[in-house]
Amino acid sequence: MTRLHLVRHGPTHAKSMVGWSDLPADLSDTAALARLSDHLPDRARLISSDLSRAAATADAIQAGRTRLPHDPALREINFGAWELRRFKDIEAEDPDRIRAYWTTPGDVRPPGGESWHEVCARVDAAVDALIAAHTGDDLIIVAHFGVILTQVQRALRMDADQAFGHKIDNLSVTELTRGSNGWQVGRINHNP
Protein backbone atom coordinates (compact mmCIF):
# COMPACT_ATOMS: atom_id res chain seq x y z
CA MET A 1 0.00 0.00 0.00
CA THR A 2 1.36 3.40 -1.00
CA ARG A 3 -0.04 6.60 0.43
CA LEU A 4 0.04 9.75 -1.67
CA HIS A 5 -0.04 13.19 -0.09
CA LEU A 6 -0.72 15.54 -3.00
CA VAL A 7 0.21 19.10 -2.08
CA ARG A 8 -0.66 22.10 -4.20
CA HIS A 9 2.18 24.62 -4.45
CA GLY A 10 2.11 28.07 -2.83
CA PRO A 11 0.10 30.81 -4.55
CA THR A 12 1.41 32.74 -7.55
CA HIS A 13 -1.27 35.48 -7.34
CA ALA A 14 -1.51 35.39 -11.15
CA LYS A 15 -4.90 36.38 -12.55
CA SER A 16 -4.44 34.42 -15.75
CA MET A 17 -4.15 30.82 -16.92
CA VAL A 18 -0.83 29.54 -15.59
CA GLY A 19 0.36 26.18 -16.82
CA TRP A 20 3.94 25.61 -17.91
CA SER A 21 5.10 29.19 -17.26
CA ASP A 22 7.64 29.19 -14.45
CA LEU A 23 6.12 31.73 -12.08
CA PRO A 24 7.42 31.78 -8.50
CA ALA A 25 5.26 30.91 -5.51
CA ASP A 26 4.59 33.33 -2.69
CA LEU A 27 5.95 31.42 0.30
CA SER A 28 5.74 34.27 2.77
CA ASP A 29 3.14 32.51 4.96
CA THR A 30 5.71 30.60 6.98
CA ALA A 31 3.12 29.59 9.60
CA ALA A 32 1.03 27.83 6.93
CA LEU A 33 4.12 26.11 5.57
CA ALA A 34 5.09 24.96 9.08
CA ARG A 35 1.58 23.56 9.68
CA LEU A 36 1.71 21.79 6.33
CA SER A 37 5.12 20.28 7.02
CA ASP A 38 4.04 19.18 10.51
CA HIS A 39 0.93 17.51 9.06
CA LEU A 40 2.89 15.41 6.54
CA PRO A 41 4.61 12.14 7.51
CA ASP A 42 8.25 12.57 8.56
CA ARG A 43 9.54 9.49 6.74
CA ALA A 44 7.84 10.25 3.43
CA ARG A 45 9.71 10.65 0.19
CA LEU A 46 9.22 14.08 -1.35
CA ILE A 47 9.00 14.89 -5.05
CA SER A 48 7.78 17.89 -7.01
CA SER A 49 7.12 19.19 -10.46
CA ASP A 50 10.17 20.84 -11.98
CA LEU A 51 8.43 24.23 -12.11
CA SER A 52 9.85 26.60 -9.50
CA ARG A 53 6.54 27.25 -7.71
CA ALA A 54 6.29 23.53 -6.88
CA ALA A 55 10.01 22.95 -6.31
CA ALA A 56 10.32 25.92 -3.93
CA THR A 57 7.23 24.78 -2.01
CA ALA A 58 8.81 21.33 -1.67
CA ASP A 59 12.03 22.95 -0.44
CA ALA A 60 10.03 24.84 2.20
CA ILE A 61 8.44 21.67 3.62
CA GLN A 62 11.30 19.21 3.10
CA ALA A 63 12.63 19.16 6.70
CA GLY A 64 14.48 15.81 7.02
CA ARG A 65 12.50 14.03 4.31
CA THR A 66 14.20 12.20 1.45
CA ARG A 67 13.99 14.29 -1.70
CA LEU A 68 13.52 12.68 -5.11
CA PRO A 69 14.50 14.49 -8.34
CA HIS A 70 11.97 16.94 -9.80
CA ASP A 71 9.71 15.39 -12.41
CA PRO A 72 8.57 17.42 -15.45
CA ALA A 73 5.73 14.92 -15.97
CA LEU A 74 4.14 16.42 -12.83
CA ARG A 75 3.77 19.85 -14.44
CA GLU A 76 0.49 21.70 -14.64
CA ILE A 77 -1.71 21.58 -17.75
CA ASN A 78 0.00 22.94 -20.86
CA PHE A 79 -2.32 25.76 -21.91
CA GLY A 80 -0.42 26.44 -25.15
CA ALA A 81 -1.53 29.72 -26.75
CA TRP A 82 -3.79 30.43 -23.77
CA GLU A 83 -0.87 30.54 -21.36
CA LEU A 84 -0.79 33.65 -19.13
CA ARG A 85 -3.96 34.98 -20.71
CA ARG A 86 -7.19 35.84 -18.91
CA PHE A 87 -10.26 33.70 -19.47
CA LYS A 88 -12.35 36.67 -20.68
CA ASP A 89 -9.74 37.57 -23.33
CA ILE A 90 -9.60 34.03 -24.66
CA GLU A 91 -13.38 33.79 -24.56
CA ALA A 92 -13.64 36.92 -26.71
CA GLU A 93 -11.48 35.25 -29.39
CA ASP A 94 -12.42 31.57 -29.13
CA PRO A 95 -15.59 31.26 -27.02
CA ASP A 96 -16.69 27.80 -28.10
CA ARG A 97 -13.34 26.13 -27.57
CA ILE A 98 -12.59 27.60 -24.15
CA ARG A 99 -16.08 26.86 -22.86
CA ALA A 100 -15.85 23.28 -24.13
CA TYR A 101 -12.40 22.90 -22.57
CA TRP A 102 -13.76 23.65 -19.09
CA THR A 103 -17.35 22.38 -19.32
CA THR A 104 -16.75 19.14 -21.24
CA PRO A 105 -13.09 18.36 -20.57
CA GLY A 106 -11.67 15.51 -22.57
CA ASP A 107 -10.26 15.81 -26.07
CA VAL A 108 -10.60 19.58 -26.53
CA ARG A 109 -7.22 21.31 -26.34
CA PRO A 110 -5.97 24.87 -26.40
CA PRO A 111 -4.01 25.72 -29.56
CA GLY A 112 -0.56 24.22 -29.01
CA GLY A 113 -1.58 22.83 -25.60
CA GLU A 114 -2.84 19.64 -24.01
CA SER A 115 -6.30 18.13 -23.76
CA TRP A 116 -7.51 16.90 -20.38
CA HIS A 117 -7.11 13.29 -21.54
CA GLU A 118 -3.48 14.01 -22.46
CA VAL A 119 -2.81 15.57 -19.05
CA CYS A 120 -4.35 12.54 -17.32
CA ALA A 121 -2.27 10.08 -19.35
CA ARG A 122 0.96 12.00 -18.60
CA VAL A 123 0.31 12.34 -14.87
CA ASP A 124 -1.11 8.82 -14.41
CA ALA A 125 2.06 7.36 -15.96
CA ALA A 126 4.28 9.45 -13.68
CA VAL A 127 2.32 8.56 -10.54
CA ASP A 128 2.20 4.87 -11.49
CA ALA A 129 6.00 4.88 -11.93
CA LEU A 130 6.43 6.51 -8.50
CA ILE A 131 4.15 3.96 -6.87
CA ALA A 132 5.99 1.07 -8.55
CA ALA A 133 9.38 2.43 -7.45
CA HIS A 134 8.27 3.21 -3.88
CA THR A 135 5.60 0.62 -3.03
CA GLY A 136 4.67 0.75 0.62
CA ASP A 137 6.06 4.25 1.17
CA ASP A 138 4.42 7.55 1.86
CA LEU A 139 4.96 9.92 -1.08
CA ILE A 140 4.53 13.67 -0.86
CA ILE A 141 3.96 15.04 -4.36
CA VAL A 142 4.10 18.82 -4.60
CA ALA A 143 2.39 19.76 -7.83
CA HIS A 144 -0.47 21.72 -9.37
CA PHE A 145 -4.27 22.01 -9.45
CA GLY A 146 -4.65 19.97 -12.64
CA VAL A 147 -2.21 17.28 -11.54
CA ILE A 148 -4.08 16.75 -8.28
CA LEU A 149 -7.46 16.65 -10.05
CA THR A 150 -6.24 13.92 -12.42
CA GLN A 151 -5.59 11.68 -9.43
CA VAL A 152 -8.84 12.58 -7.67
CA GLN A 153 -10.68 11.71 -10.88
CA ARG A 154 -8.87 8.39 -11.18
CA ALA A 155 -9.26 7.39 -7.52
CA LEU A 156 -12.96 8.28 -7.35
CA ARG A 157 -13.67 6.88 -10.84
CA MET A 158 -15.55 9.98 -11.86
CA ASP A 159 -15.71 11.86 -15.10
CA ALA A 160 -13.63 14.97 -15.69
CA ASP A 161 -16.57 17.31 -15.22
CA GLN A 162 -17.14 15.92 -11.72
CA ALA A 163 -13.42 16.13 -10.92
CA PHE A 164 -13.36 19.79 -11.95
CA GLY A 165 -16.03 20.43 -9.31
CA HIS A 166 -13.43 19.87 -6.58
CA LYS A 167 -11.65 22.82 -5.08
CA ILE A 168 -7.89 22.46 -4.57
CA ASP A 169 -6.45 25.33 -2.53
CA ASN A 170 -2.83 26.40 -2.51
CA LEU A 171 -0.90 24.59 0.25
CA SER A 172 -3.69 22.03 0.68
CA VAL A 173 -3.21 18.26 0.94
CA THR A 174 -5.20 15.60 -0.86
CA GLU A 175 -4.66 12.10 0.52
CA LEU A 176 -5.02 9.00 -1.66
CA THR A 177 -3.89 5.43 -1.02
CA ARG A 178 -3.12 2.84 -3.67
CA GLY A 179 -3.26 -0.78 -2.50
CA SER A 180 -3.90 -4.22 -3.90
CA ASN A 181 -7.65 -3.54 -3.83
CA GLY A 182 -7.39 -0.28 -5.77
CA TRP A 183 -7.69 3.29 -4.58
CA GLN A 184 -8.86 4.63 -1.24
CA VAL A 185 -9.64 8.31 -0.90
CA GLY A 186 -8.87 10.20 2.29
CA ARG A 187 -9.25 13.93 2.61
CA ILE A 188 -9.45 16.14 -0.46
CA ASN A 189 -8.29 19.75 -0.21
CA HIS A 190 -7.37 19.51 3.47
CA ASN A 191 -5.88 22.72 4.85
CA PRO A 192 -3.76 21.82 7.89
pLDDT of residue 153: 97
User: Would residue 189 be called left, alpha or beta, if left means φ above 0 and alpha means ψ between -120 and 50 degrees?
Assistant: left
Q: What is the pLDDT of residues 5-51, one digit of tens each?
A: 999 999 999 999 999 999 999 999 999 999 999 999 999 999 999 99
Q: What is the pLDDT of residues 158-187, one digit of tens each?
A: 998 899 889 999 999 999 999 999 999 999
The overall average pLDDT reported for the chain is 96
Closest CA to 128 of 71, 76, 88, 57: 71
pLDDT of residue 179: 92
> What sections of 24-159 are H helices per DSSP?
30-39, 52-61, 87-93, 95-103, 116-133, 145-156
Four-point Cα dihedral 67, 173, 158, 82, nearest 10: -80
Does the reported pTM lie above 0.85?
yes
Domains of the chain: 2-76+115-185 (3.40.50.1240)
b (16+ CB within 10 A) / e for 64-74: ebeebebbebb
Q: What is the pLDDT of residues 87-130, one digit of tens each?
A: 999 999 999 999 999 888 899 999 999 999 999 999 999 999 99
